[in-house]
Each structure stands twice: as C-alpha cells, then as structure tokens.
Structure 1
C-alpha cells in the first residue's frame, strides 16, 4: 500500500545534483568571504548564469572561485577551466604585452609608430607615438573604409588599411576610444619588432611564463570549454555621435560572434581574448606587484608605466571624462576610485571587469556569460571589486 503525503512530510531529496553541481566552488580565504557572498548574491538575484571571480594579493590568489552554468539551458556547470570571450578586457592584455616588450628595452613607448612600421607614416601620421595607441589618442578609432568581420580577422589587410588612412582628429589632442582597432595597431608594432603577431607574443612572453589560461586567438582543441553568452538585453546601437556610430557599426559587434570559429581563431587584441577570472587576475598581478605565481614579469619601473597619463578629458567616442593611462583607464565615472589609491582598470562589453590597485598590490577580475549592455553592464563587476575592498577593510 502506497503511503499518502501529508503536510508534515518532507519528500525533498538530500541534494539535487543538477543544482548542486553548479554551486560556487574553489578557494576563498576567510578574510575575503564578502567576495564569495557577492558572487552568491549575483546568482541568487538572477543577475548571472555562469561566472568566475579571482583576487590576487602580492602575486598569490586569495580568491579563485566559479559557479553557475556554462549554458542557457542550465544543463552544464561552469567549471574551473571554463573560459569565454572577455571583449574589451582583452585591451588590458594587449597593453600588458606592450609593457613587457617596452620593459625588455625592445619597444620605446615614446617613439613614433613609423620607426617600427614605416608605412604607418602615411596621411600625416609620422608623429604618432606608440603611447598614443595605448592611450586612444591616435585618431584611428575605427576604419574609414567599410569593413566586414572577415576583413577584421585578416590582420594583414585590416592593419594595412589603418596604416594608409588619415586620422579622424588631430592626433595627441584628445582620446577617442579605439573599440576594435587598438589591438590591430599594437599588433602591427609588435609584429614588426619581434616577427610575432600580438597573440603569439602574448602567449610566449606573458600568458605562458605566468601560467595564465588566456588566449588572443585560440586553437580549435579548446573550443569544448569556451562558454557562449546568454544575451540578457537587446543590442545597444550607438546614435547621435558620429565617431561612436562609425566604430560601433563598422562592423557591428554582437555576442553571437563569439560562438563562431572564425572569431575564436582570429587575433583581435581589442576584443576577442578568451579567458576566465583566474587568468585575467594572474596577468594583472604582474602589473600590481611585478609577479604572479612566483614568476616575475615586470620591473617596478616597467609596471608603473601603466599609470602614465595619456589623455584626461571628454573621450570623443564614449562622451565621458576619462583619464587614460597606458591601455587602462585611471579615472572615469564608470568606477569610483578609492581616495589615494593608484588604480588601473577596464572591462568588456557584456560585463567582464578587472582592476589593478598598485597600493594594495592587488588584482581583481570578474568574467561571466550573462551578457548585459547599457547602464547595468558594470554593476556585477563593481560589486565584486567593492567586496574585495570591504575584505581589506577599505
């Protein structure tokens, strides 16, 4: 005879594997419990599907956690080695490659780009310095010619177009966020010095030595662990700003691109880096204190160059006041800085975020698959960063 249920009976199993497998996992020092709680809150509020968070202090991980789901169907858990496109967080990796090359003495950041790349001098660009590429002040925020994504993936073609075109404003006088072109421009310089494309140089001299699982151009053998985005908001198209419109529409970037093999194989140093929070924080730890995981990558003088101000005013594309350093923002309305703290930060379209605090010798990173555009884009990453400071008592 089958027992009948009554309100006093519990029929819940002790665990639900489907749910338990996607709970937050990893390592978190007790002191940094607020960071764990911040990620837990994002999942509980439905703000995230799958994500990872990492905090390094003095070159060592104090937080390395992940959780949620790999996919929109909530079938597969986001695991330790899940990676995803980080969009413009890639720019910070490109900046790291340039800083490492400069620290080695092979690249002079004050030199004209044309010293290394003679064709670049066309159309009045002979005086543009390498630092202007890193600071978004070169006037080459986008392509004058109409381009497709196939053109962008073709580094030889797309960098040649940039070398041949005239700047959109007087170089060095103002910043205009180089949404896709920044990585191409810096790759053009690095390749002519080293014989290696940006992606190859980054792998050999930054990610490889540090053991960071971050890739600017990734092999097909890794596709099985690359998560796809879960789009949470409609595509935001720029309007009312001719520079923003040209950059945003030529060509249009959307989260579905990240699922294509052409996107993953390409080396778009401003947008298509693949990684997780651990890898981002590992690389940035070398900026925060010079090293990560026992490997020294940058001298103190070399890492502090990131803080050299390249522009300080209204960015012509973003329409916001931004103080740009070497490949990182130093101050902007996008993030409130702690008084007296020297920081460098940025983030990626959809919501990835990263911050380096030179005084705390700390790097913080947040990477996710729930893709949010518009005013809410940076909310989750900012919450993680605030939790890291709370953990430090700041």
Structure 2
C-alpha cells in the first residue's frame, strides 16, 4: 500500500514523521492523518496513503473519515460549555432537565453520572428498529424506556453509542438546539474546525471509507471480545451489535447526529477543537470554557476496576478519557491508551484519538481508515504519541501516563 506522506512538519518533530511513515511501511496503515499543536502553534500536519482502496483515491489534505468515539469528546465539550455558562449544573438530577429519563431505575441519575458513563443505559435490550440510529426522537424514547442495567452512580459501564443520546439530549434540551447545530455554532465554526456531528447537505470533503479489522487468529482473546462473540444477550454484544443496521460507511449515517460514534473529521479538525483546551480554554480570540471549568475537565471523575461494558480498567474525566494503562493484563495491548497524566480526550474504534494536555500545551490527533486491533489504541497511534512526548522532553510512561 502506498505510504506517500505529505504536509508540514517542524524539524523538531522529524522523529514523529518517521514513525508515521513506518506505519505505512511496516504496520499496515492504509490512509491516515496526524496533527499536533504546541502553545497554539501547529507544528505537525501530515497525511498520507490511500483514502479508498477500491478506487485508489489518495488521502488528501482535506480528506475526512468517521472518527467513531472521538465524537464523544465533542459532545462532552458541548455539555461543559453549558455548565460553564451556568445553564447546566453538574450535580443536579437529569430529571430537572429531562423528566422522561427518570424512570425504570434511572431516577437518581445526575448530570455528572451521565458524563461518567454511569447513567445505566449502556445498551438496549430489545432490537433497535432498522434505521433507528438515524432517528433522534426514536432513540431518545428508547433511552427513556430502557430499564437500568445497574444502579446509576454505583459503577460505570461505557455507553458505547448511547452516550451521544444521553448527554446529547441534555445539550439539546438545555440549549434548545440540536446537538450537531450547537457543536457547529459554539465550537467548530468559531474555531474553523473540520469536525461535524452530522454532515450538512453541501458537504464537500472526501470521506475515506472505513476498512474493518481482519483478525489473524493470533490475537489474545479479551473478556469484552469473548462475550461479544459468544453471548448475544450480553451487555457487550448488545452495546456493539444492536445498531438497527447502522454502518460506518453509510451515507445516511454520516448525515445523522450520532454523537456516540458518528462524527466526521480528521486530525487537523480535532486539533483545532483541542488547541484551546490545551491553552487555558481560549485560542485566537475564541473562548470555549473558563479556567475553573477547564481544570475540572481534566480531573479524573470515575475509575473502574472492571468497567461493566468494556470489562477492563477505565478512567474518565466527565466525558473524556484519561490515560488508561492495562499493559500488565492479558491482551493489555488492546485495552490501553497511554497519554500524559493531565491529558484528556477520547479514542475512537480502530485506534484514532484526539486529546489536549494542558501541562505541555499540546493538542494531538491521529485518524485513519484502516481499523486496528483492540478497543483502545494500537501500535500505529501509540507510537506517534510516544514520539511526541519524547520530543517534548517527557521521560517515561512506565507509571501509566507520560511524565517528565
């Protein structure tokens, strides 16, 4: 597969560019982008490979792809903007904003619990109707009617796609705007970020089709995958497969507001969103949140020994992922994402990521069209993150996060 890499790279980050090129030469990369800024200045903006293997179309400067759960960070940011304005209160009951949600064991759910993946609706037991993910009102009714899988707030269970409707409906009800429109008006447009939760009719960027991971047979089975494949009524299987037929390459899905995993962007688009968050909450005259809210956004708000959905150790910061180190466990290479201790962001299925690290004023993102092994990061992305931190003078990630 062609590994032609284009774009710009500050000489200081030459080792990161070399690592990006290695992904194409040695690690099965098909098409991808990587971007980072430090102190608000974009120092790496690279892309390369093939966007569509069927046509041979190259991955160009403005090529995008679905970024799966990286979208959750955009949804969480919308909620934090409203919290910062005093329009949404973190510790109030969800029922104060969304009365219909407070039933069937979910009555005690707070806004904080919803951001923490603790609102107890990580999956839907009954089948989603064909095309259900494209119907916002239908999915909101399903969230309301679903019986809690566990007592809200007692544990966390990753809301794989449902996070987009739980937190997204809070954004909708409080702001009066649809989720995608609020994100566009308050984040993407002011920052000039190529990032959409539901693409518009006049969308003119190429979208690289996602290439699914093909198992080799040598993978270490992890509990999540075992349950997914062997127990059709399990939380793992239902959260991943009960989608009403939604697929990442469906044009209708690209137009829908699927905040849990349907965002369209690239590395540059995500870095544009994270750059203010890496620099005190503001950049180029655009303020997303104030200093106190930003400080809260980076703080770990829930950590699990075993996440009820992912069946691995997880750490979240009110809707954002923190560094997750499961390397000591069997299959830990499939359930880890090692970033800075103060960093917060989100991975996407197959190995994409976007995050901000306020400690070193770093905003970083990597996106791709060839999915990799695991439910967190794989070697292609983690190696790029590692080079970035090493170049910035960080010493080690043995502790579970990159430290100076």
State yes or no: 1:323 paired with 2:304: no
Partner SS for 2:275: helix
State yes or no: 1:65 paired with 2:56: no
* Cα displacement (A) at 1:46: 4.6
* Cα displacement (A) at 1:224: 5.5
Per the alignment, residue 77 of structure 2 pairs with 96
Per the alignment, residue 292 of structure 2 pairs with 301
Distance 2:142 2:378 in 1: 33
Distance 1:312 1:288 in 2: 23
Gap regions ≥5 residues in structure 2:
217-224, 327-335, 395-404
| Higher Cα Rg, which structure | 1
Distance 1:162 1:102 in 2: 22
State yes or no: 1:264 paired with 2:245: no
Distance 1:324 1:193 in 2: 23
Return closer, same or farther for 1:182/1:278 CA change in 2, 3 Å cut-off.
same
Per the alignment, residue 5 of structure 1 pairs with none
Distance 1:193 1:295 in 2: 22
State yes or no: 1:287 paired with 2:268: no
Per the alignment, residue 368 of structure 2 pairs with 368
Per-residue deviation, residues 128-183 of structure 1 (Å, max 9, x unmatched):
11111111111110123310451121110111111122210011011100001001
State yes or no: 1:28 paired with 2:19: no
Return closer, same or farther for 1:144/1:230 CA change in 2, 3 Å cut-off.
closer
Per the alignment, residue 310 of structure 1 pairs with 301
Return closer, same or farther for 1:223/1:168 CA change in 2, 3 Å cut-off.
farther
1:11-50 alignment to 2 at 5 Å? 23-50=4-31
* Cα displacement (A) at 1:324: 1.5
1:1-394 alignment to 2 at 5 Å? 23-73=4-54, 75-148=56-129, 150-222=131-203, 225-234=206-215, 238-239=228-229, 242-251=234-243, 257-289=247-279, 290-313=281-304, 314-332=306-324, 333=326, 334-338=336-340, 341-374=341-374, 377-394=377-394
Return closer, same or farther for 1:224/1:336 CA change in 2, 3 Å cut-off.
closer
Gap regions ≥5 residues in structure 1:
1-17
* Cα displacement (A) at 1:302: 1.6
Return 87-96 or 323-332, whichever deviates more. Answer: 323-332
Structure whose residues are more often helix by fraction: 1
Distance 2:376 2:172 in 1: 37
Return closer, same or farther for 1:200/1:362 CA change in 2, 3 Å cut-off.
same
* Cα displacement (A) at 1:265: 0.9
